[in-house]
Amino acid sequence: MRTDLGKLTDDWKGITSIVPYGAGIVGNICKTLFEQVDLTIPFVIDNDKTKQGKKWRGRPIISFEEAKPQLGTQKIVVMAGHDAYGKITRYLNAYGFVEFEDFCNVGHFMSEWLWDAKRMNCVFHVDMTITTKCTLNCRHCNLFIPYHKTHVNFSFEELKHSIDLFFERIDFVTYFGLIGGETFLHPELEQCIEYLGENYKNKIGRITIVTNGTVRPSDSLLNIIKKYEMYLSISDYTNVVPYGSKMNELVRRAEEYGIDFSRNASIVWTDFGFPNHPLKRTPEELENHLKSCRPNWNALHGGRFYYCNVSWCAEQSGRFRLLPDDSIALADIDSKDKVACRKIVELSRGTSSFCRICGGCGKDNTKFVETGRQLP
């Protein structure tokens, strides 16, 4: 099994302080984790002038120009998602900073440094598909929902079993997503949310529920989302599909209930190729692709942990067969054996056999397509 761990230089070991780069969403979500780790943070870097001069966990937020002469041998941990990390990497490279020597992303820091220093097994982003039923029929759905032979709601008991197996073996996950299909179609969604919130909220930075805004949630569902401070990620396809009134109502009700949410109307979609025209990469082409595509979203399904949620969905569609090393049966790992549980973290930073034929989410995939375009 391939993994990108083991890249931090030796001088990361024994550090007692770090400088976070980014005082935005990712940084705020990771607060729960940093409160458990005794690291000194002298200041936080953010080039957003509206944040400079303010505080992050009591630490001053300053520009990179202001921070540079104060850095010395301090290590930088970039608190940003996939796309933003690429931009920040290029920015830091231009100043002579080297990835894994001078800086790394927060997902890598969690997965590697926290193990070396604290024997904590941490994963950055895990998604669990609770239903493959959907109200839309998107041609380029990145979970290939229209191409599945059957569509199902996974039972609460099955989801609960996977959740328990995972969190018995993992100390912390930054993002835990409940996704579909359309999540609001699941009849036991409230039960699933309540179980996560009651039992594992202290091990999760942010629990996200993804919806396309076509289904009206009940008052009781919104109350539970609010109760456990879960995040609503609303994919807005109203420029293509006429359901603006439903979308506006969901936004209004989320605001009314005080739920933290985002309305994502400018998502950029690319053609993954699969299932209609899968790629045929050479080993060299695959190697270059893997350097570009690091999606950072793993998958939890049926008591197994997968490197990539997209690859699980490809197999679930019945049109691709994953290899044994693409996933781990969680029940086969002794939950009390920290070293054995490390296999989960290693796979979270690994690869999948599906990468060979998938266009992926990296900069090398420039086959842009219309977001939300529907099949007949």
- Tokens 């957003």 belong to residue: 48
Predicted pLDDT at 86: 84
Domain residue ranges in the chain: 10-118, 122-369
**Contact between residue 30 and residue 175 where contact means Cβ atoms under 8 Å apart:** no
Alpha carbon of 116 to those of 8, 26, 341: distances in Å? 11, 22, 14
For the 122-369 domain, the top CATH level (class) is alpha beta
Residues of the chain with pLDDT under 50: none
Indicate the CATH number for domain 10-118: 3.40.50.720
- What is the predicted pLDDT for the residue at 1? 56
pLDDT value of residue 318: 95
- Pair 169, 341: CB distance under 8 Å: yes
